[in-house]
Amino acid sequence: MTQNPLLAPVSDLIDYAAVKPGHIEPAITALINESRQAVEASAQTTLAPTWEAIVEPLEDATEKLWRAWSVAGHLNAVVNTPELRAAYNQCLPQVTEFSTWVGLHTGLYEQYKRLKHSAEFARLPAVRQRIIDLALRDFRLGGVELQGEQRERYADISDKQAQASQKFSENVLDAIDQWSLQLNDEARLAGLPDDVRQAAQEAARADGQEGWKLVLKMPCYIPVMQYAQDRELRHDMYRAYSTIASEQGPSELDNSALIEQLLALRAEEAALLGYGSYADLRLETRMADSADQVLSFLRELAAKAKPHATRDLAELRQFGADQLGLSDLQPWDIAFVSERLRETRYAYSEEEIKQYFTEPQVLAGLFHVIETLFKVSLRASDASTWHDDAQAYEVISAQNDVLGTLYIDLYARQGKQSGAWVDSERNRRRHGQAIQTPVVYLTCNFSRAQNGKPALLTHDDVITLFHESGHALHALLSQVDDPGAAAFASVEWDAIELPSQFMENFCWEYKVVQALSAHVDTGEALPRALYDKLLAARNFQGGMQMLRQIEFSLFDMGIHHQAHGMSMGAVLALLDEVRQEVAVLFPPSWNRFPHNFSHLFAGGYGAGYYSYKWAEVLSADAYAAFEENSPPAAEGQPLDTLDAATGQRFLSEILAVGGSRPAAESFKAFRGREPSIDALLRHSGMA
C-alpha cells in the first residue's frame, strides 16, 4: 500500500482524495499503540511534576490519533460506503477501549494530581491551570476512582454505548437511503416547485425508471410537505418519515432496542459514578446547576410561549377549514396549510424568496459579514477534498496570515448523513514560535444546482448556514494555544450554541440580506417590499416552533432524569405526558419520532437538548449589544448591525477565548452583566 495519508504529520493538511477504507485500520492501530506508550511514559513517577514532562508528550501522541479518527468519522458521515463503514466499525471498539483505558488510568490521574499540588502549578498560565482542573474532573467522571468489578463494568458500558450510538445512526441513514416512492402520474406532483420535480425525475432516471422518484432527504421531503396538493402523497411521505428506523419498517433497522439499551447503559453509568441519573451526571459539566433548574427554565419559557402557540394553531385550523376545505387538520397538513396561510397573509411564498438566495451570493454575503465583524477573509484553496461537492477555504487575517482551514460541503446526497453540523479535524496549538492552525468541517444538506444555474437556498437554509458558520468561527478564530482549552474541547455544552445562534440574527437584517441575495435570473438583490414581508412573517407560528423545541428538551430531560433505563413503551408514554403538558399539536399514535432523534442517541446531546434554548437566551442578549451599538437609522432606512467595534469585542471575549475560562465569565466580559431573557422574548415576538 502507498504511504498512509492518515499518518501524515498533524501540521500537514490531509490528502482526502487519497484516503481509502484500507488506510483506516492500520493508521488507527499504529496511533493507538503510540498513544498507549505515551500514556505509560507520562505516568512514570520519576518524572518531574511539570507541564513539559507530563502533559506535552501526551498531547503530541494523542493529537495524531484523534486527528486520524476525526477524519475517519467525518468520511463515514459524508461519503458512507459499505467498505468505509466496515473499516470505521472495525476500529470503533479499539478507539473506545483506548479512550476508556486512559480515563481509568490511575497512574496518569496521580500524575495530574501531583502537578496540581506542585509548586509549578501556581506558575502556570491560568489556561493551563484550567486544563489540569478540567482533566482531574474528567478523570473522576471517567470512573478513575472505581475499583474491581465496577471498574471493569464501566469500561464495558463505555464500549457498548459507542457501538449502540453508531448502530443507531447507521439505521437512520440506511432507513432514509432505502426508502423511496416511485410516481408515474404527473398529476400527483401538482403544486411542487419545478426544481423539486426535476430532481425527482433525474433520481428516477438514475435508477433506469420513467416518472419521478421521491425520497426522504430534506431537499425533497420538505417541499413535498409544503407544496404537494395531493393529500394522500403528503400522508405517505409523513408516515414514512415519522416512522424511520422504527418497528414499522424493516426489523433490522429498528432502533427500539438500541434506545432501550442506551438509556439503561447511561443510567447504569451514572449510578456507578454516584449520580442519581444520567442527567445529574451530564450537568456536572454544564452551565446549568441541576435538572430542576433546567426543567423550571423550560417550563417558564413554555408558559410564555403556549398562549402564542394556541393562537397560532387556532388560526391554522380556521384557515384550513375556511380556505382549503380541511375541516380535520392532520399533522401531514400542517406544513402545507402553514405555507398557504403565509402566502395569503404576507403575500409571498418560500419558493418566491428562494429565487434570490443563490448559493454563490449567499456564501459571498456570509464572508462579507465575517470580514466586517471579525477582520478576517476567506480565500478558496485547492486543498484535496473527499467529494466534488466540498471546497476548502483558508481563513486569512488582516495581516495576511493563514489562521485556519474551513471545508464546506453543502449538498444532500446518498451515503451522507442528513442534517447540518460542524466538526474540527485539528485544533490551534502553539509549538514554540510556530502556530498550528485549526481545521474545521462545515456540513449541510441543501438542494444542488440544476440546469446550469446556481443552487437555490431557502431563507431557512441561509439561517442554517449562518448557524453552522458560528460554530466554525468558534474553532477557527481561537487564540487559545493549548488544545485542551479549545472551544469544542471545553466550552460547556449549554453554551456551545451561543456563537451559532448569534450568527443567525444577521439573516434578518436588510443590509445583510441585500449582500446575501442575487436573483437567479436577474441578479437583483431581494427587494425591500419582499424583505418586509419576510420580516413580518419572522415570528409566524413562533409560539408553535418554540413549544416544539421545549417539547424535545423536556422529553430528553425526562428520559435521562431516571434512576434506571426505560422500556420503549415507557419512553413513548413519557413523550405523551410531555406533550399533554406543553404541546398544542399532537401527532398520531404511530409516530415514532424518538427513533430518528440522532441528537440524543448518536450525537452527544443526551440530557443536553435544552442547550439550544439555554444558549438562545445568551445569543439573543449578545446580539442585542449589536443592536444597541448600531448607528441610528434614518426613518425608513434599515438598521446596520454590522458594528465592527462590537464585533471585535465579541471576537476577543467569546470566540477567541474558547474554553479557556467558564462561559458565564466570557458572556459577562462581553455584555458587562448577567444574561437576560428579555432579548429572546423580543426577538420571538413574545415581549
Q: What superfamily would CATH give domain 5-145?
A: Endopeptidase. Chain P; domain 1 (1.20.1050.40)
Query: H/E element holding 445?
Result: strand 439-446
Distance CA 646, CA 373 (A): 8
How much is the pLDDT for 687? 80
In whole angstroms, what separates CA 467 from the centre of its chain? 9
Contact present, 402 and 395 (Cβ < 8 Å): yes
Quick count: other Cβ atoms within 10 Å of Cβ 260?
A: 18
Please compute the mean of the pLDDT values over residues 493-505 and round it to a whole number.
Answer: 97
CA 243 vs CA 336, 419, 568, 576, 589: distances in Å: 20, 17, 14, 16, 11
Residue type, 557: M
The three-state secondary structure class of 421 is: strand
Return all residues near 194 (Cβ < 8 A) that are at least 6 apart: none
DSSP 208-221: T-SSEEEESSHHHH
Whole-number pLDDT of residue 76: 98
Q: In this model, does residue 2 exceed pLDDT 70?
A: no
pLDDT band at 632; cut points 50, 70, 90: confident
Q: Per-residue pLDDT for 24 more than 90?
A: yes
- pLDDT tens for each residue of 610-631: 999 999 999 999 999 999 999 8
Buried b (16+ CB within 10 A) or exposed e, 490-508: bbbbbbbbbbbbbbbbbbb
Q: What is the mean pLDDT of the chain?
A: 97
Average pLDDT over residues 632-649: 89
pLDDT of residue 638: 79
Extents of the domains making up the chain: 5-145, 179-244
Residue 637 has pLDDT above 90, yes or no: no
- Decide if 155 contacts 100 (C-beta within 8 A): yes
Active site residues: 468
The residue behind cell 482533566 is 135
Give pLDDT tens digits for 117-142: 999 999 999 999 999 999 999 999 99
Tens-digit pLDDT profile for residues 172-230: 999 999 999 999 999 999 999 999 999 999 999 999 999 999 999 999 999 999 999 99
| pLDDT given at position 1 | 46
Residue 341: what pLDDT?
97
CA-based angle 44:48:50, to the nearest 5? 110
- Taking 80 as the threshold, does the pLDDT of residue 3 lie above it? yes
Question: pLDDT tens across 369-398, in order?
Answer: 999 999 999 999 999 999 999 999 999 999
| 409 pLDDT above the threshold of 60 | yes
- Lowest average pLDDT, out of 89-98, 286-295, 678-687, goes to 678-687
Burial class of 628 by CB neighbour count within 10 A (0 to 12, 13 to 18, 19+): exposed
